[in-house]
Chain A
Amino acid sequence: MANKPRTLYEKIWDAHVVETRDDGTSLIYIDRHLVHEVTSPQAFDALRISGRKVRRPELTLAVPDHNLPTTARRDAKGARVPIADPQSAAQLEALERNAPDFGIRYIGDADDEQGIVHVVGPEQGFSLPGTTIVCGDSHTASHGGLGALAFGIGTSEVEHVLATQTLLLQQSKSMEVRVEGDLPPGVTAKDLILHIIGVIGAAGGTGHVIEYRGQVFEDMSVEQRLTVCNMSIEAGARAGLIAPDETVFRYLKGRPMAPKGADWDDAVAYWKTLHSDVGAVFAKSVVINAADIAPTVSWGTSPEDVVPISGSVPAPESFPDESKQAAAKKSLDYMGLTPGTPVAEIPIENIFIGSCTNSRIEDLRAASKVLEGRSKADNVRWAIVVPGSGLVKRQAEEEGLDKIFTDAGFEWREPGCSACLGMNPDKVPAGERCASTSNRNFVGRQGPGARTHLVSPAMAAAAAVKGRLTDVREL
């Protein structure tokens, strides 16, 4: 095996095989487990019922994010503001009880470090290159931006990892998405990943782990890489990966849970070996030309339903396969769109800047740059910015970004998943549109009947200013 060229995925996989069974499944060691309030209560309950312990509590980090309101969590006296929805309150209480009961480090709802799990993991240095990272959330793929093998799991698997620190898995196949050339000015990591999903389709990566390769990714900041890998699951891939490099090492150095001293040097030496070997074989390979990409928006109810901002709403008949034609017709009905309408004429009533895809400091800087000295259009009824963590929020406030947002008519919120998923109080009303920096435009995702258009942070800001989907490069 030592001589056979391997992909980055195969290297990380091989390093985590505890044993391989006769039936071909492998017991894979899990280095990092992120836990939030929504997909964990049933797992902790199952441990209690069977009298099981958490095998390695120090390899798990718990933080609430999905269900928390993004309004103030403490009043002026420091007392907790009660969560109005009793079910949401019960879920938060369950995590607050379960974490200490099982010896797991817990970041509380009003702590500075609190935020969306996929923002918190990298920010704390808990997520590291070459590690296996899981969480009961499909956007765990994000951490692949650091060169970690990171993927979402169900609640039974959460229980399995808590009890055994392993998962029984079939190895996925390696898939390469190679991007050639440079992105044109004004085109971001979000536009790139939306474009990629449009090319390979919502099931194009099923059964595979995608490695993103090319100069474009090497030139990206860690934040941008996290955005790209985050949406790997929207292409059906189990995980997304970008080989770790100096940019990643610089980002991680000195973070609270990152290795220190001699450990740091050992870790970096190991991380430098984490890249696909020359001659490694990918089961599937897709080549994308970066120069072809424009700011990209979604028009339908699957993340593969994307067009450049200069494009139009497609006609269902324009799709070759019959079931896609039927799906497109349903999507257009749901979205209230007519084929042939230029997407830049679609009016927008709601703006959401946030989510594990686009709530990091660079995202907020990109949006605020567009908004500086401008205001949201009159037809934009609701515009919110939800920083990915308390630390992102504080950093943004130190840079004065919050002021730019509030001057432009945005609400400046507390960290959490917010309007990405229609679970907490932040929802888009039925029949209204939202230009959203999140990752899913599914039916009802942002609230029953809500119509989502996925965009980059700069494009969300541009839509706010014009009150319609707009090419940010024209502002």
Chain B
Amino acid sequence: MKPLSTVSGKAIPFGAKNIDTDIIIAAEWLKTITREGLGKGAFQSIRASDPDNVFDDPAYAGSPILIAGDNFGCGSSREHAAWAIGDMGIRVVIAPSYSDIFSGNAVKNGILPVVLPQSAIDRLMEVAREGDPIHVDLEAQTVTTEFQDRFAFEIDSFRKHCLLNGLDEVALTMERDQAIGAYETRRTTDQSWIMRGTAA
């Protein structure tokens, strides 16, 4: 996973609320057996129905930041949504809230889901619409603009650590093999029926 510390650039002023993962990437695109190339399918229904959509607007082409609305990424657990957004070149999403599954998927793919209150989102939407840059600093946990806006955000320290260092969570957990083994031994002794699974 690509480490992330600071991201600066234009932002896509999207802002819509309750954007589900079917909108981010439609089921038709889920037939792939790889993680690549999903950016061209991202936000397909919006691109098809609205000729003035922000995703095809050349003013925002190549923006590394997406500004979104409340409950972003709700619905399906498809990680393809995070892969698609990453494939568009987006490294940071800024929204008032996310679905639990989406924000987890984003972090695991080196995308930072910043949570800011609606008032901050409204201001950042204005800045983004003007094409002015936004600066995100994960170490400092701030979003700033060139107009003296400064918004601090919270992030759980483990997620921050993984993003800053581009860490593979599976490798980290595999280092805890002994603790997992001890738990399994206890389980097998006390509640062996749980551990039988398909072999019951």
| A contact set with B: CB distance below 8 Å | 18-19, 21, 23-25, 27, 29, 31-32, 38-39, 41-42, 45-46, 50, 52, 55-56, 58-61, 66-67, 85, 87-88, 90-91, 94, 105, 125-126, 128, 131, 136-138, 140, 152-157, 159-160, 163-166, 168, 170, 172, 202-203, 206-207, 233-234, 236, 238, 256-260, 263-264, 266-267, 270, 302, 323-324, 327, 421-423, 440, 442-445, 448
Tell yes or no: B140 within 8 A of A by CB.
no
- CB of A29 within 8 A of CB of B187, answer yes
> Which residues of A are found within 8 Å of B156, using beta-carbon distances?
23-25, 170
- Residue B53 interfacial (CB < 8 Å): no
B contacts with A: majority SS: helix
B170 and A164 within 8 A (CB): yes
B27 proximity list for chain A (CB < 8 A): 421-423, 445
Docked pose: A233 CA to B28 CA in angstroms = 22
Q: Which residues of B contact A264 (CB under 8 A)?
A: 193
Q: Given known contacts A126-B198, A266-B191, is B31 in contact with A18 (CB within 8 Å)?
A: no
* Min C-beta distance of B37 to chain A, whole Å: 12
Contact A263–B69 (Cβ < 8 Å): no
**A422 to B69, alpha carbons, bound, how many Å?**
25
Which residues of chain B are near A327, meaning CB under 8 Å?
A: 16-18
Complex Cα–Cα for A238 and B100 (A): 7
Pick from B18, B35, B174, B191: contact of A164, CB under 8 Å: B174
Contact, CB under 8 Å: A19 / B176: yes
Contact B170 A203 (CB under 8 A): no
Q: Which of B108, B158, B192, B197 has the largest number of chain A CB atoms within 10 A?
A: B197
- Is A266 a contact partner of B193 (Cβ separation < 8 A)? yes
Name the CB-closest residue of A to B157.
A23
Residue in B closest to A270 when the chains form the complex, CB atoms: B191
Q: Are A154 and B78 in contact (CB under 8 A)?
A: yes
State the CA gap A233–B192 with chains docked (Å).
31
Which chain B residue shows the least CB distance to A90? B33
Number of interface residues of B (CB under 8 A): 62
B 42-86 binary contact with A (CB < 8 Å = 1; else 0): 001100100000000000000000000111001111110010000
CA distance A136 to B171 in the complex (A): 20
Q: Using Cβ atoms and an 8 Å threshold, which residues of chain B touch A423?
A: 27-28, 30-31
- Which residues between 85 and 108 of chain B lie within 8 Å of chain A, taking CB atoms? 97, 99-101, 104-105, 108
Chain B's nearest CB lies how many Å from the CB of A123?
13
Interfacial chain A residues near B184, Cβ < 8 Å: 29, 56, 165
Interface centre among B18, B22, B79, B99 (most CB of A within 10 A): B18
Q: Are A259 and B193 in contact (CB under 8 A)?
A: yes
Task: List B residues 116-173 near A (Cβ within 8 Å).
Answer: 156-158, 161, 169-173
A166 near B30 (CB under 8 angstroms)? no
Residues in chain B near residue A131, CB distance under 8 A: 194
Given A442-B20, A442-B23, the answer on whether A41 and B33 have CB atoms closer than 8 Å is: yes
Known A421-B27, A448-B45: A257·B197 in contact at CB below 8 Å: yes
A59 to B108 alpha-carbon distance, docked (Å) = 24
Q: Is the CB of A91 within 8 A of B31?
A: yes
Q: Is the CB of A257 within 8 A of B200?
A: yes
